[in-house]
Amino acid sequence: MKIFSFFKYSLLLILVSSFIVSCEKETDDLLSEKDGPVVVNYIRLTDPAKSDSLLTSAFMGSLISIIGDNFGDLKQLYFNDQKAILQPNFITDKVIIVNVPTTVPTEVTDKIRMVFSDGSEFLHDFKVSVPAPVLAGIKSEYAPDGGTIELSGDFFFDPKVTFPGDIVGEIVSTDKNNIIVTVPLGVQPGVITVSTNFGKAVSKFIFRDDRNTILNFDDKTHENWTAPTFGSENKGVVPVSGNFAMFSDSDFGEWKWNNPTTMWYFAPSRGGAKPIAVGPITDLAVKFEINVPEDWIDFNLLIFMSPYASDHGYDNASFARYQPWRNGAFKTSGWQTVTIPLSAFQYGKDDSWAKEDWDKPGSKPLSSLDGLTNINMMMFGPNVSQTSGTKANIQIAIDNIRVVPIN
């Protein structure tokens, strides 16, 4: 299939080249000797639908046609100081079809430089447009001062990362799609900005997001007879922001309901009848940080909200089923942020747990947050990815549970 696709693409480019040249009503002599001065008449995209648009610049990676004369013995072509890859089948005496290099230039000349077999060169004005950075996400929205965060996106060319308060972080490593940066001392919650010479991107996420935090296991706590909390390393997990809760059971099995693998937040004993959040279901998500030091191979982490009461409200709840092990054992390297849209809260307690039903709509979609003040998490249910009865080692650290707008 890949070979077929390549030849189909090559044929398309040849047809485009032929179309361009026929429009010029000139005859091409493939790789002929120069019989006069090199001339560039114009440059345009190869897409026939956009062929009327003449170019003086193009983004990296763009496929363009250079129309002119006496290109036949072209040997090398540069955009600024970056060498383009030439395909002989896409070069004629009057047309060059070429991709603009995807590497950022070191020396910007704003020129196309053609080198021919006789050593002669030809220059033509043309700018390569480098896109502004795109900041797509962050591995963990929380990290301590002096720790590192991992940003993902695109076009990270010699980036600068600025934290809230205009504090610049020290870059540990970077490539086109990823940045690892040290968190400076004294940073407060807010957005992160990535800047390059070609523009800047501002995060949609909030670093150290403290909006509507329900539980942080420091000053906002759960029922203390459920999952234990730790303020120092436990099971290989180092705190990310103060205390964290730890679901821990090395012999977890089907339908096992036990306190160390549950987390209950009952509003009557934890601050009054404050609603979980305000706003449309479609605009909100539950977020939290998670750290899984051992392979998590099965069993759902159930998350649900319930009405104002000193009770879990399990029977009538709309559940989200968090299953990060679907494609294989799940284990994290440190903390990472989990985002679960409220639209995923759709399962009733009697809905099918079968693997073939994982992606089918549930019977009890959450329609409103009215009256819901409690939030709860628990490991519970059947073994759904392995042979019935198989035990699992559950080691899951959780922190900073919040209900906030979806990024």
What average pLDDT does range 232-260 have in this prediction?
95
pLDDT of residue 10: 43
Coil, helix or strand at residue 122: strand
| Cβ pair 34, 116 in contact under 8 A | yes
| pLDDT band at residue 402 under the 50/70/90 scheme | very high
- Closest to 379 measured CA to CA, from 298, 325, 324, 290: 298
Tell the residue number behind the tokens 């062929």, with chain if given: 51
Residue 260 CB burial class (10 angstroms; 0-12, 13-18, ≥19): middle
Backbone angles phi, psi at 15, to 5 degrees: -65, -40
Pick one of 2.60.120, 2.30.30, 3.40.1000, 2.40.170 as the CATH number of 213-405.
2.60.120
What average pLDDT does range 38-61 have in this prediction?
88
- Closest to 247 measured CA to CA, from 401, 400, 399, 397: 397
Give me the CATH code for the 134-202 domain, please.
Answer: 2.60.40.10
pLDDT in tens, 335-390: 999 999 999 999 999 999 988 898 899 999 999 999 999 999 999 998 877 655 67
pLDDT in tens, 188-222: 999 999 999 889 999 999 999 999 999 999 999 99
Evaluate if pTM is beyond 0.85: no
| pLDDT band at residue 21 under the 50/70/90 scheme | very low
| pLDDT band at residue 28 under the 50/70/90 scheme | very low
How much of the chain, in percent, has pLDDT values that exceed 90? 78
Q: Is pLDDT above 50 for 25?
A: no
| pLDDT band at residue 106 under the 50/70/90 scheme | confident
CA–CA gap between residue 248 and residue 397 (Å, rounded): 8
DSSP string, 141-195: S---TT-EEEEEEE--SS-EEEETTTEEPEEEEE-SSEEEEEPPTTPPSB--EEE
pLDDT of residue 389: 64
Q: Which helix (H) or strand (E) holds 57?
A: strand 57-59
CATH class as words, domain 2-129: mainly beta
CA–CA gap between residue 77 and residue 43 (Å, rounded): 14
pLDDT of residue 9: 42
| pLDDT band at residue 48 under the 50/70/90 scheme | confident
| pLDDT band at residue 35 under the 50/70/90 scheme | confident
Q: Is pLDDT above 90 for 271?
A: no
134-202 against 213-405: fold identical: no
- Closest to 42 measured CA to CA, from 29, 27, 55, 33: 55
Q: Is pLDDT above 90 for 1?
A: no
CA–CA gap between residue 367 and residue 404 (Å, rounded): 17
Q: Is pLDDT above 60 for 29?
A: no
CA–CA gap between residue 240 and residue 299 (Å, rounded): 25
| Cβ pair 145, 166 in contact under 8 A | no
Q: Is pLDDT above 80 for 4?
A: no
Please work out, in degrees rounded to the nearest 5, the angle formed at the alpha carbon of residue 322 by the alpha carbons of 190 and 305: 75
| pLDDT band at residue 265 under the 50/70/90 scheme | very high
State the chain's mean pLDDT as an integer. 90
Q: Which helix (H) or strand (E) holds 18?
A: helix 2-24
| Cβ pair 161, 174 in contact under 8 A | no
What average pLDDT does range 155-161 have in this prediction?
95
For residue 393, give both structure tokens. 């080692």
Coil, helix or strand at residue 348: coil
| Cβ pair 64, 84 in contact under 8 A | no
Sorted by where each begins, the domain ranges of the chain are 2-129, 134-202, 213-405
